[in-house]
Structure 1
Amino acid sequence: MLAPQADISDAERERGLQRLVIEALFSNTTAALTTGVVLTAFAIHLGANNSTIGLLAALPFLTQLAQLPAIALIERLRQRKRIAVLSSVFGRLMLGVMALAPFAGSLALPGLVTATLVLCALGAVGGCAWNSWMRDLAPEDRMGRIFARRTFYATITSLLAGLGAALALEWTPERSQARDLAFAGLYAAGCAAGLYSAWIVARMPEPRMPDVDRRATHLLAQLRRPLGDLNFRRLILFLGTWQFAINFATPFFTVYLVRQLGYDMTVVMGLSIASQIANAVALRNWGTLADRYANKSVLLVAAPLYIVCIAGMAGGSQIADPAMRLAWLGALHLFMGAAVAGVTLATANIALKLSPRGEAASYLAASAVVTALAAGSAPIAGGLLADFFAVRRLELVGRWTDPEGVFTYLSLALSNWDFYFLLSAVLGLYALHRLGHVEEAGEIGRQEMLRQVVKETRGSIHNFSTVTGLKALTEFPSNLVREMQVRQRYRQIHRKRDEGRSRSG
């Protein structure tokens, strides 16, 4: 059942791709119940400080270094499905251990960190085998749509599971025994869903890996190939700088909302759910655009939007009115969810696309190792700097004084986590500069991609909407619409004129 196949029929491949989508429902249920906001809330519940929270956020990235021995293991055994399934089973059993943490007393936090370490390390080994396997299983011309569909349904499932987690935390008082039971139940359910996900993966077909020169399977030789590829090396540099930029601040969103702005976990989970809804709505369009044009073109639009949203989080502490502040944060999370959908899909797909078939394991592992070091060091640095920024404050005040009195027209006060968000945005701009050096077939410019995004978004909302007022949400200012239409007609006229000249010539 776990052995690779020399020949896979079209019917078997299609069934496997269908199971690929179904599997995501369970694996993402596991993630929604046990990672992200829930894991941070769990750590806060157990009394974790900022450094511990930063370490927990860094472990999923730092453990990607386990992909180094995983490459050699894959090349030696050449059974990617077996490695992926077994690592998934043993890794997700750690979620059962984490479910016992609320009742472990002084061992709770050390147990949580240790179990997370084992879970993430085995997940990295399995992920290395999984990525190489999917590279050979999924047709290249459908890769974007397949993984967008998988991610779309996974996001819907994550949304529902996240809502369940939010209700479980809402109905239990903080620091109570009932809250202990709520976290234990979430992690036990996540463990069960993860094990069922592994069972589905075991039923998907694995193409046999192509034969290679055994002399070239030495670990250093395998890593040397992707690093010797100039374009892939540029991609790795972009991914590393990007991961450091966004993970310097984003793991602390929950801490910022709870400790600096004073929101309870219900509001935090609600914002997370809003972000997931936007993510699900945007995914299909990003997948279509990635297949039609290029993943780099998607990144040129989605990544800057994400950076703007991160910087905009600092605005939450500047708004005094509670309703306006919550509306601001809600809007940011909606845009952030849509941007994350494009960034996540495009960064995963561009690494797959630029990896040669049969060598994807070494290429993707080299990329994962570099980005893991960058992404893993960022939240650790953030956690260590938390106390430094906590006691510092920057104020910018503009006042106009005249005989009638003093008028304050500008008041900006940055403190604590606000600095993280602005620094993260500056680092993100540098990462975008590195992206400009990556080459991908079919890429188009940012302005043309923006027009396509607008077109796809308007079409999607038009199809799903039954309310005239909802359609109005897609309307842009009339001058912008007219400008786009004029440009399109201008290009059509010139295209027809060129075609006519070529025929007459």
Structure 2
Amino acid sequence: MQYPLEIVKKNKRYSIINGAHSMIMNTYSSFLALYAIHILHANHQQVGLLNSLAAVVSLVTTIVGGYWFSQLELKKRFCGFSILFARIALLLFALIPYIPIYQAWILVILVGLMNIPASLANLSWQSLMGDLIPEKERGKFFSYRNQILTIVGMIATATVGVILNLFDKDNPVPYQGLFIITFIFGVLEAYYLFKHIELKEYSSKGTVEKDSLIVAMKKMWQTKPFLFFLISSILFNFGWQMAWPLFNIYQIEYVHASAFWLSLFTVANQLSQILTYKWWGRMADRFGNSMMLFVASVGMATVPFLTVLSKNLYYLVFTNFWSGVSLSGTTLLLFNQLLAVSSEKSRSSYITLYTIFIGFVGFIAPQVGVWILSIFGMNAAMDLSALIRLLGGVAFILVAFRVEQQRHKPLKDKSITQ
């Protein structure tokens, strides 16, 4: 059951405003590794844990809260308060330099704890959007939304990079100011989430099965579109996420990039996303999500390999621009495909299952990347990441050619009996 057109329009507007504040809030993440290495003197293991510990906390939180969340009739209040609790951690980040010992470990722990409410917020937001935005409009709307949000994020990141570059790299004060300002935008993010219109009579809760998470786990093996999408995503995300700490270490320790250059890398990445979001949406409508996920993932597979070819800062700006082309398609199509392969009756449960599996990958993959770095070096670690991403892309293309065809075959038979 779909919301009336006027309500859908209002929710789209609030979603864009909410997302814009979220992008400005998330500006801190582009400089968190710089803060950890230069201010808190984090080692490679701790940089890796900034990703992996956050992922395992999200995994446990999702497992514990997934069933309870799937039974919520209305999701807006839960999502909004989860956002607020997650953003409080930004204020705590600013206090770490005043603690005399274990500063890097405290940051790692706070990032992990921050992801308890953040993971619940993400889980509930995905399901909420599945209720509020009609399926036929999601591809066009989210490509447009992502384009606007990327422009906002690009401007915010460039501004922060220029300001941070005015200070000595070992000065904690500008980072502390950044955390306080982004916390304020996090509060505004929650405020505009609360302004969304959510009504009981249009909630998917009425069609959700009792014990839906358990039922979904049992049905997952028979639900071929979801199962094969999940397997492909696990493989691709392993290759994707194992390189996250490697990029930070390479850019900061190997290339010695300043905050200004890190912001340029991010801006180049976001600019290419702006230029390609609509193209990915059009191509997905024409060729299908799975087919275009293959194309996007092949592009993502080239990024780690290209990055380590040179330490030239201008060249790395180019590689980040190239990365954004594929990243825009990956983020858009993964989300749309997840909604497409999740049945409406059990959408919350399938999203929960997906989050659990990808969260487990997010815990292991960054640590594997750092471990390979310590034994075989940066080039080997990046090349392996590229190979696994490519295998994930091959898995997506198999889904496109085989699973989706099988999924459409029974529709003709069912139409005869209806």
TM-score above 0.5, yes or no: yes
Instruction: Report deviation, 1:308.
Output: 1.3
Q: What is the aligned partner in structure 1 of residue 223 from structure 2? A: 229
Q: What is the aligned partner in structure 2 of residue 24 from structure 1? A: 19
Which of 324, 327, 334 is the matching residue for 1:337?
324
**Within 1, Cα distance between the matches of 2:173 and 2:368?**
33
**Within 2, Cα distance between the matches of 1:426 and 1:284?**
28
**Paired amino acid for 2:31:** V
CA contact (8 A) 2:204 2:345 kept: yes
Q: What is the aligned partner in structure 1 of residue 31 from structure 2? A: 38
Instruction: Report deviation, 1:200.
Output: 0.5
Structure 1 residues 77, 304: CA separation in 2 closer, same or farther (over 3 Å shift)? Answer: closer
Q: SS in structure 2 opposite 1:436?
A: helix
**Within 2, Cα distance between the matches of 1:341 and 1:442?**
24
Q: SS in structure 1 opposite 2:169?
A: coil
Task: Confirm or deny that 1:362 pairs with 2:349.
Answer: yes
Structure 1 residues 64, 432: CA separation in 2 closer, same or farther (over 3 Å shift)? Answer: same
Q: SS in structure 2 opposite 1:419?
A: helix
Of structures 1 and 2, the larger Rg is shown by 1
- The equivalences for 1:101-500 within 5 A come to 101-175=96-170, 179-206=171-198, 207-212=202-207, 216-217=210-211, 219-317=213-311, 325-389=312-376, 416-439=377-400
Instruction: Report deviation, 1:213.
Output: 7.0
Q: Deviations over 1:138-176 (max 9, x none)?
A: 11111111111111111111111111221232011122x
Identity of aligned residues (%): 21
Instruction: Report deviation, 1:302.
Output: 1.6
**Within 1, Cα distance between the matches of 2:89 and 2:136?**
37
**Within 1, Cα distance between the matches of 2:343 and 2:358?**
19
Q: Deviations over 1:411-459 (max 9, x none)?
A: xxxxx31111111111122212221332489989xxxxxxxxxxxxxxx
Instruction: Report deviation, 1:385.
Output: 3.5
**Paired amino acid for 1:254:** N
Instruction: Report deviation, 1:218.
Output: 5.6
Instruction: Report deviation, 1:312.
Output: 1.0
Which of 41, 45, 53 is the matching residue for 2:47?
53
CA contact (8 A) 1:58 1:377 kept: yes
Q: Which has the higher strand share?
A: 1
RMSD: 2.2
- Note the residue ranges of structure 2 that are not aligned, 5 or more in a row: 406-418
**Within 1, Cα distance between the matches of 2:104 and 2:290?**
41
**Within 1, Cα distance between the matches of 2:108 and 2:155?**
27
Q: What is the aligned partner in structure 2 of residue 456 from structure 1? A: none
Q: SS in structure 2 opposite 1:78?
A: coil
**Within 1, Cα distance between the matches of 2:403 and 2:321?**
29
- Note the residue ranges of structure 1 that are not aligned, 5 or more in a row: 1-5, 318-324, 390-415, 445-505
**Paired amino acid for 1:289:** M
**Paired amino acid for 2:388:** L
**Paired amino acid for 2:124:** A
Q: Deviations over 1:445-477 (max 9, x none)?
A: xxxxxxxxxxxxxxxxxxxxxxxxxxxxxxxxx
**Paired amino acid for 2:139:** G
TM-score (norm 1): 0.75
Instruction: Report deviation, 1:314.
Output: 2.0
TM-score (norm 2): 0.90
Task: Confirm or deny that 1:96 pairs with 2:57.
Answer: no
Q: What is the aligned partner in structure 1 of residue 409 from structure 2? A: none
Instruction: Report deviation, 1:296.
Output: 1.4
**Paired amino acid for 1:110:** W
